[in-house]
Structure 1
Amino acid sequence: MSSSNAPAWSTQPNPYPPARRDEKASQTYKSAAKGSVTVPEPYIWLEQPPSQSEETKEWVHAQAKLTQTYLDDCQPDLDILKSRIEKNFDFARFSCPSLKGDGQYYYSYNSGLSPQSLIYTASKEEVQNNAGRNGRDPIGKIFFDSNLLSADGTVALSFTTFSHSGKYMAYGISKSGSDWTEIFIRETVKPFKLDDAHYNSNGTIKLSKEELAKHVDASGGKGRLGDQLENVKFSGATFTHDDKGLFYQTYPSSSVTDKGTETDANKDAQLWYHRIGSPQSDDVLVISKDLKAPESMWSTNVSHDGNFLMLYNSKDTDTKERVYVLPLHNHGIDANNQFSWIPLALSFKYVLNYITNKGNRFYFMTNKDAPNYRLVSVDIDPSKALATKNVWELTGEDAVVKDVIAEDKNALLGSVQVIDHNKLLVVYSRDVKDELYQYELETGKRVERLLPDLVGTIDQIAARYSDDHAFVKFGSFVNPGQVVRLNWETNSAPDAKKQEQTAYYDTQVEGIKANDFVSEQVFIKSKDGTRVPMFVTHPKTVQKDGTAPAILYFYGGFNISITPVFSPSMMSWISSYNGVLAFVNCRGGGEYGDKWHEAGTLLNKQNVFDDALSAAKYLHESGYAAKGKIILSGGSNGGLGVAACINQQLPEHGIGAGIADVGVMDMLKFHTWTIGHAWKSDYGNVEDPEMFDYLYRYSPLHNVDGKKVYPTTVLACADHDDRVVPAHSFKLMAEMQHKLASNPNPLLLRVEIDAGHGAGKSTQKRIQEAAEKYAIVARALGLKIREEGSRL
């Protein structure tokens, strides 16, 4: 329960580390309102990462020392909370089994506390006999043990892709969380693992750290092929069906040896074809860099029949893309390395996502004239393909689309997956809750709703075009995940096919029992009257009497939906402090389609912050939470939201603390670092005078108010984050500590070492980070941790 007596905070015994202010540094921008504006840049030197600047390094170390001093005062609650988070992380995590061309199933598995997940392989019989199991131990055998990539868990798989035949697996390796990737290939008959005697039954390794270090290989160990593809970024790998090679994207090499610490803008991407067994220097250039649009990015996938390559060209994080089709030759590329393309979408106006094809009739999911998306068909003519490496020079008309499944005005079409040649598994989201349906492909007829009792989020559907069954995984705030198997009889007429479902796996968490919690959806009214959904979860012992602390999580950007998901750390926190967890679906996300997204972008970005602050006000006015004990939480774009809301919050909002993870804090310079230029689709272009005025008004770095009392603030970042560079958080914290030197609440920076934007972070790092952040805000708010064994 909460206490009103928060411990006093003063910087006198532990002053904020001094940060040199360069009063001469500035930058001038064009302004629609004022003609031009000169913006001071006193902390421009903090843009140099610690690996390249001793001054930055010393400042970061001083910040770490200050934060550690505060953490020392959080004991013993910090250790208690960490122990509970660790306990609630310690559950077996399975992905859906996925059948590959070699007749084997593959799935990812983590026993609970392993640094990285493993890939297992299992036979059809083993998977069939596993139905209904709730145990912790995996079935089958280890195929790829990611924990052998590094001794400390800082090297991780960034992706895996199997060839159509199942003969090969291509995999990406990322170090310290960087977006830079190296691609390797191995045959699926040659696993990357220790001898079986070195493993426990749950896949954990018996060896000591010293013994394990002898077996570590960051490239994937013995047995892999000699192929090694470097300078890969924002790319997977796409095999051709002839098993001879794959497509992938590269960027010019990093300017520094410690990849992931550089801040250079990522431009001039190129698409390549690599022939298996040959050196990267012999790879075939498929798409050269676009000199007129150096920010272009490329991605691919091969059609289900292996006869075509889909090429997608994006210029930013907007999902609208240019789309092209490449007819392949005998399931591979032309012997003369000639590529002839059919343009389907020649401008960045809408989405056209490949679902499947029947010969030359293609099926796409699109938002063309359908902000909630629909399924359409397109007929192509391979004889009209034109040879070029500069597809952006192709002209003509966009492909004509025909409705297969019309847009639903009241629900968002989330995904479409074809199985058994003519069946579609279709996911709709209605008020941020998923629904699963079966349709017929060629007629677009709805057959039935599947899993009608499902309440939550569909996380994964594993099925191939030719499979007569599918695995579906779903979860919620209080349920980490259930897997069911959907089966259909083979070779029956569609009207006669009967679908049956079988429980495959139900995850059990020892410390979190679903029946101990209440999870409900409410709708709040934002500042402009817009109705905004929010999920609220709490222990049943929490009364709506305005005394509980609350975590309010939000994102609000890039067309990304925030759906019900199980968080061991957040659930541990509300269990330990008898608190409330609220997820508010701010505008800018994808919860209600394109219009909802656009309502929180560009000149509408303020709506995101208004939605979040309105949600905070609702929480305490409705009695869910105590005024002054609401903790704002968000990461990346959500970190921006937290920082902007902290600047804008008033006493009426009841904000007690804010945790901003890897946030975008400098809205005038975000586009100059790494991949930041791609975010202009959501944030706007600062070179536009009207957009500058808008960005300048809410940019967290430029709107710290030294006359206000700020809530406890934790800015968390990582030294190898080459997505949102840590300079964002460095500069904002220096500005806050300068202007708010006497603030009665702590303003702290947490820098994770050998970590990136979040992907690939080891289990241990995730637990430690969560425990420290939540312990800091709990102490600052005067919360008392629940005693072990006391009733929820």
Structure 2
Amino acid sequence: MRTTGRPQFLALCLAGAVLLMTAPDPAPAGPPDDARRPPLDYPEATRGDVVDDYHGTTVADPYRWMEDIDSAETRAWVEAQVALFDSYIADVPARNRIQDRLTQLWDYEKFGIPFEKGGRYFYSYNSGLQNQNVIYSTPSLDAEAHVLLDPNTLSADGTVALAGLAPSKDGSKVAYAVSDAGSDWMTWKVRDVASGDDLDDQIRWSKFSGAEWTPDGSGFFYGRFPEPKEGDDLRAANFFQKVYYHQLGTSQDDDALVWEDPENKDLRADATVTDDGAYLILTLGRGTDDKYRILYRPLADLDAEPVHLVGDFDADYTFIDNDGPRLFFRTDKGTPLGKVIAINVHHPDPEDWETIIPETEETLLGANRVGGYLIAQYLKDARSQVKLYDLAGAFVREVEFPELGTASGFSGDRDDTETFYSFSSYTRPTTIYRYDLATGASTLYKEPQVGFDPDDYTTEQVFYTSKDGTRVPMFISHKKGIAIGPDTPTLLYGYGGFNIPLTPSFSVSRLVWMEMGGVYAVPNLRGGGEYGEAWHKAGTKLQKQNVFDDFIAAAEYLIDQGRTSTPKLAIQGRSNGGLLVGACMTQRPELFGACLPGVGVLDMLRFHTFTIGWAWTDDYGSSENADEFEALYAYSPYHRVEQGACYPPTLIVTADHDDRVYPAHSFKFAAAMQGAQGCDNPILIRIETRAGHGAGKPTAKIIEEAADEMAFVVHELGVPLPEAD
């Protein structure tokens, strides 16, 4: 089964759980100015005397000591910050009502996209408020399904999550990975589908890797890193990944080394087995740039050295499937918006490549081969468009969708006659459809029942002009019939990085925000993947400021159009989006009414020294390069904090087990902001325990975080709340 998208190891920066927000229809406003609390008494944070020299520029780093997140001093500071936030949020009257409303709406059935292996179907399901989704298996979609994997039984607090799932080709076994407390580290295990029992096999120290079975189900390929030193597993940089083959029934110590590159510590590889079992494909990459080198070897020859086929980290080459010796790839070589090509392993020279699906006006995200078709998934102005082609590249048909939104799925094997996909929008919950490949008919398979009417809400797409004249799209969603004006509370959410597009998707928190009369706006900033590689590159390295300018211009557009005003405008982003918020609020603090930087990359001079941060230099650059240092230093949120400036009310969000974006980023930024704040606006940090960057977070923790964030926004913007029942 091939799937659309970039290799597993490039999932190094999450767009993240988009804002978790809430509440019902309007009524009295928030607290008047004279009812606001006195200035907060922030925990003391010692200013150290660390100073670094970057290419002749001296830069102070007074909170370097916070990078030791387990030191007694850091833990004491964290505990004091937790107590401060708890005290603040306990005094917000709307907090409990918000959580109640969130919980009420969150309690609906959630269905995953089914997929078939060896005549068995597998899918995920959540009855409503289960902390983790449960994996089911069934011999047919009409038969009774049984529970195959229930992560909720693995920990009392729901913090052990399923991080990967790979059924064998005959569907008799599944390799599955679990992660603890939100860490990126995964432990792979193997379960027998018929009995539900685990085998003795166990794989440790895997990260950013899938499991790829051999056709006979005797074993699988996987990637792992060297075991870190004791105590360094959440902080140390991850280098020298290797690919191994694990034979079932043997110890991990006996696994066969398939690929390594001891000369290049930053290279990593994803292993793929072709559906016909002929080849093992290795996709080599470094960093997070979509530029690869492809190696291959006959699968059956375990002693064969992988042979270079195409690419030298010059372009994207995402493997789709093969037709004998012809291998299909999605590439942007010479075509920034992408195309599908075929390369014959016996004649791999570029002049012998075949163009199967040429570049179009839309961005080609990827393609799957299912049955006798290539299913190509495009973005047209940041919304989904899906087209079917035959294997020769002849257009067959386009898939019709009910509205502007996001479709995903369309996976399967070469002998399938059906596929499944999900569709969602800002106002439509994720709905599952079965697609008949022969007729092109989409049949509703699973539709969630949420306690609201989607027809009561609307989404429009507008285009605005950024600082340098670039035309940028933005989705604006809200409840129909509300009065739009300067007093309209508005949440502006952004990301803008790593070639990741932000497309319409459903969230209970956003629904509740709109339910109480709020507007939800999402601009598609440069740095993302909405318009191909040129759009992505225009928001990277020395051009990263374009992303911040695009976001600031979105805020100015909403204000200039009379849709909101500064006192009613909140901004939020997570991960790279946390950087976005941090940069914009330090550059234009007077523009925003509240700011929520979540799990953000906030120290741009040292991010590459933690865990997988070095991989992000493809997008950000590195302070070790003089030109890139100047650009990074100019916008690094931690370093741009000015003593005595008046910053908007700010809630920084992080987690103590985040080994993607190390929590010291948020700790240092919070300490700097609290020490510099020149007015009474609160600067708070919410620190989650036993949680990571976002993936695998239990439902209970998601709802709690949502309620806290929403309560903060409601209080600080004076958002109207409904009358109590």
Q: TM exceeds 0.5?
A: yes
Residues 125 and 772 from structure 1, CA distance in 2 versus in 1: closer, same or farther, beyond 3 angstroms? closer
Matched, 1:766 2:702: yes
Counterparts of 1:499 and 1:480 in 2: how far apart (Å)?
Answer: 23
Contact 1:81 1:573 survives alignment (8 Å): no
Residues 518 and 274 from structure 1, CA distance in 2 versus in 1: closer, same or farther, beyond 3 angstroms? same
1:13-52 to 2 correspondences below 5 Å: 14-23=40-49, 25-30=50-55, 36-49=56-69, 52=70
Contact 1:544 1:622 survives alignment (8 Å): no
Among 388, 396, 403, the alignment partner of 1:447 is 396
Matched, 1:477 2:426: yes
Partner of 1:5: 32
Cα distance, 1:688 vs. partner?
1.1
Residues 120 and 715 from structure 1, CA distance in 2 versus in 1: closer, same or farther, beyond 3 angstroms? same
Matched, 1:649 2:602: no
Cα distance, 1:400 vs. partner?
4.5
Partner of 2:148: 143
Partner of 1:201: none
Residues 97 and 346 from structure 1, CA distance in 2 versus in 1: closer, same or farther, beyond 3 angstroms? closer
Amino acid at match of 2:86: Q
Partner of 1:268: 240
Partner of 1:491: none
Residues 734 and 566 from structure 1, CA distance in 2 versus in 1: closer, same or farther, beyond 3 angstroms? same
Contact 2:496 2:576 survives alignment (8 Å): yes
Counterparts of 1:247 and 1:265 in 2: how far apart (Å)?
Answer: 23
Contact 1:6 1:779 survives alignment (8 Å): no
Cα distance, 1:459 vs. partner?
2.6
Amino acid at match of 1:78: R
Among 607, 615, 618, the alignment partner of 2:557 is 618
Partner of 2:440: 499
Amino acid at match of 2:125: Y
Among 353, 363, 373, the alignment partner of 1:423 is 373
Cα distance, 1:437 vs. partner?
1.6
Partner of 1:435: 385
Contact 1:483 1:504 survives alignment (8 Å): yes
Among 390, 403, 411, the alignment partner of 2:362 is 411
Partner of 2:168: 163
Matched, 1:661 2:598: yes
Partner of 2:669: 732
Contact 1:344 1:398 survives alignment (8 Å): no
Among 358, 367, 382, the alignment partner of 2:323 is 358
- Cα deviation per residue 1:733-755 (whole Å; 9 max; x = unaligned)? 10111111x42210000000000
Partner of 1:592: 531
CA RMSD, Structure 1 to Structure 2 (Å): 1.8
Partner of 1:202: none
Counterparts of 1:165 and 1:404 in 2: how far apart (Å)?
Answer: 31
Cα distance, 1:349 vs. partner?
0.6
1:273-672 to 2 correspondences below 5 Å: 273-288=245-260, 290-329=261-300, 333-334=301-302, 338-381=303-346, 400-408=352-360, 410-420=361-371, 422-441=372-391, 443-488=392-437, 497-510=438-451, 512-576=452-516, 578-649=517-588, 651=590, 653=591, 655-672=592-609
Counterparts of 2:368 and 2:724 in 1: how far apart (Å)?
Answer: 46
Amino acid at match of 2:362: A
Contact 2:357 2:393 survives alignment (8 Å): yes
Cα distance, 1:454 vs. partner?
4.3
Residues 282 and 607 from structure 1, CA distance in 2 versus in 1: closer, same or farther, beyond 3 angstroms? same
Residues 7 and 559 from structure 1, CA distance in 2 versus in 1: closer, same or farther, beyond 3 angstroms? farther
- Cα deviation per residue 1:54-103 (whole Å; 9 max; x = unaligned)? 1100000001111111101112x1011111111121111111211111x1
Residues 726 and 761 from structure 1, CA distance in 2 versus in 1: closer, same or farther, beyond 3 angstroms? same
Contact 2:589 2:648 survives alignment (8 Å): no
Counterparts of 2:232 and 2:618 in 1: how far apart (Å)?
Answer: 30
Amino acid at match of 1:435: Q
Cα distance, 1:674 vs. partner?
0.5
Counterparts of 1:366 and 1:72 in 2: how far apart (Å)?
Answer: 53
Matched, 1:779 2:703: no
Counterparts of 1:302 and 1:114 in 2: how far apart (Å)?
Answer: 34
Structure ID, larger Rg: 1
Counterparts of 2:132 and 2:45 in 1: how far apart (Å)?
Answer: 37
- Cα deviation per residue 1:401-435 (whole Å; 9 max; x = unaligned)? 22111001x20112211121x21222221101111
Q: Tell me, what secondary structure is at the counterpart of 1:631? A: strand
- Cα deviation per residue 1:20-62 (whole Å; 9 max; x = unaligned)? 1112x111111xxxxx11111111100001xx21110000000
- Cα deviation per residue 1:531-555 (whole Å; 9 max; x = unaligned)? 1010001111322222111110000
- Cα deviation per residue 1:151-175 (whole Å; 9 max; x = unaligned)? 1101011010011111210011100
Residues 47 and 267 from structure 1, CA distance in 2 versus in 1: closer, same or farther, beyond 3 angstroms? same
Counterparts of 2:455 and 2:724 in 1: how far apart (Å)?
Answer: 18
- Cα deviation per residue 1:329-373 (whole Å; 9 max; x = unaligned)? 1xxx52xxx132221224111111111111101111111111100
Contact 1:167 1:188 survives alignment (8 Å): yes
Residues 293 and 626 from structure 1, CA distance in 2 versus in 1: closer, same or farther, beyond 3 angstroms? same
Partner of 2:628: 691
Cα distance, 1:519 vs. partner?
0.9
Matched, 1:753 2:689: yes
Counterparts of 1:687 and 1:679 in 2: how far apart (Å)?
Answer: 13
Cα distance, 1:767 vs. partner?
0.3
Contact 2:121 2:141 survives alignment (8 Å): no
Contact 1:557 1:597 survives alignment (8 Å): yes
Unaligned runs of 5+ in 2: 1-25
Amino acid at match of 2:238: N
Partner of 1:130: none
In terms of mean alpha carbon deviation, does 241-250 or 661-670 score higher? 241-250
Give every structure 1 segment of 4 or more consecutive aligned residues whose post-TM-superposition deviation is greater than 4 Å.
1-4, 6-12, 396-400
Counterparts of 1:163 and 1:189 in 2: how far apart (Å)?
Answer: 13
Contact 1:286 1:339 survives alignment (8 Å): no
In terms of mean alpha carbon deviation, does 478-487 or 694-703 score higher? 478-487
Cα distance, 1:281 vs. partner?
0.8
Amino acid at match of 2:445: Y
Contact 2:589 2:646 survives alignment (8 Å): no
Among 714, 736, 742, the alignment partner of 2:651 is 714
Between 1 and 2, higher relative CO (CA 8 Å, sep ≥ 6) is seen in 2
Contact 1:550 1:629 survives alignment (8 Å): yes
Cα distance, 1:717 vs. partner?
0.4
Counterparts of 2:476 and 2:31 in 1: how far apart (Å)?
Answer: 23
Counterparts of 1:111 and 1:632 in 2: how far apart (Å)?
Answer: 32
Counterparts of 1:399 and 1:634 in 2: how far apart (Å)?
Answer: 44
- Cα deviation per residue 1:594-651 (whole Å; 9 max; x = unaligned)? 0100011011100111111111111122122233211110000000000100001154
| Percentage identity across paired residues of the two chains | 39
Counterparts of 1:357 and 1:6 in 2: how far apart (Å)?
Answer: 66
1:166-185 to 2 correspondences below 5 Å: 166-185=171-190
Q: Tell me, what secondary structure is at the counterpart of 1:499? A: coil
TM-score by length of 1: 0.86
1:98-177 to 2 correspondences below 5 Å: 98-101=115-118, 103-124=119-140, 126=142, 140-177=145-182
Cα distance, 1:485 vs. partner?
1.4
Counterparts of 1:242 and 1:86 in 2: how far apart (Å)?
Answer: 45
Cα distance, 1:399 vs. partner?
8.4
Unaligned runs of 5+ in 1: 31-35, 128-138, 192-222, 385-395, 489-496
Residues 686 and 519 from structure 1, CA distance in 2 versus in 1: closer, same or farther, beyond 3 angstroms? same
Cα distance, 1:149 vs. partner?
1.2
Q: Tell me, what secondary structure is at the counterpart of 1:687? A: coil
TM-score by length of 2: 0.94
In terms of mean alpha carbon deviation, does 454-463 or 60-69 score higher? 454-463
Amino acid at match of 1:307: A
Partner of 1:216: none
Counterparts of 1:181 and 1:466 in 2: how far apart (Å)?
Answer: 32
Q: Tell me, what secondary structure is at the counterpart of 1:481? A: strand
Q: Tell me, what secondary structure is at the counterpart of 1:59? A: helix
